[in-house]
Amino acid sequence: MQRAHTENIIGNIHDYKGEVDSNTNRLAHASLSIGGDEVIPEFWTRYFGVKPDTAVIKGVSFMTPSGRKSSKPGRTGVWGVSSKFAVQSDCLEPHLRYLIDYLRLPRPDLRDLVNKQGGGMRFFVYWANYTGDRVPDVPDDIRAMMESMGGIIDIDEYR
């Protein structure tokens, strides 16, 4: 596995032969997550006014994506929303723009609020590149916005 750092973007490249998403035609999706030991998901649900796709309280059992109760308590607090089922595109930009619009980003107080909970914020991007010829399309304005809010863009690329 190779991990590359570029500006505020982190990338992972995995050699993966199996199917990751049940929709084999979907080559990209993104999520915005806020995570950290003191992150309180209920706070972020009220702040953004949207129901999260992921909500975990550190030390408390949670529902897994499959709808089962976790066998172990959450290792850290996490709140997140995803574009996976809302956007049908193999390009990243529509997924990122959807999240920006849905969460009404940027928000001037977001960086300080994340820091007060000792958390971090990121766009986590799934990027299928089995052919090796696709380049993630993260527009400069989105990179700058995330940097200004103290967040990162983490690209998880599968080859």
Q: Helix %, strand %, coil % for the chain, to 5? A: 20, 30, 45
Q: What integer is the mean pLDDT of 116-137?
A: 93
Residue located via tokens 């304005």: 141
pLDDT attached to residue 25: 65
* Helix 92-102 / helix 140-148 crossing angle, nearest 10 deg: 40
| 101-122 pLDDT tens trace | 999 999 999 999 999 999 999 9
Which of residues 35 and 65 earns the better pLDDT score? Answer: 35
Rounded CA separation 24/69 (Å) = 27
Residue-averaged pLDDT of the chain = 85
Q: At residue 8, does pLDDT exceed 80?
A: no
Q: At residue 92, does pLDDT exceed 80?
A: yes
Q: At residue 3, does pLDDT exceed 90?
A: no
Provide the pLDDT confidence category of residue 43 given band limits of 50, 70 and 90: very high
Q: Which one of 12-16, 64-68, 95-99, 126-130 scores highest in mean pLDDT?
A: 95-99
Rounded CA separation 73/9 (Å) = 30
Q: At residue 19, does pLDDT exceed 70?
A: no
The SS3 of residue 77 is strand
| 52-91 pLDDT tens trace | 999 999 999 988 878 889 899 999 999 999 999 999 999 9
Q: How many CB atoms lie within 10 A of CB 56?
A: 24
The SS3 of residue 143 is helix
In Å, how far are 15, 21, 31 from 1, measured between CA atoms? 7, 20, 22
Rounded CA separation 39/120 (Å) = 9
CA dihedral in degrees (82, 85, 89, 92; nearest 10)? 10
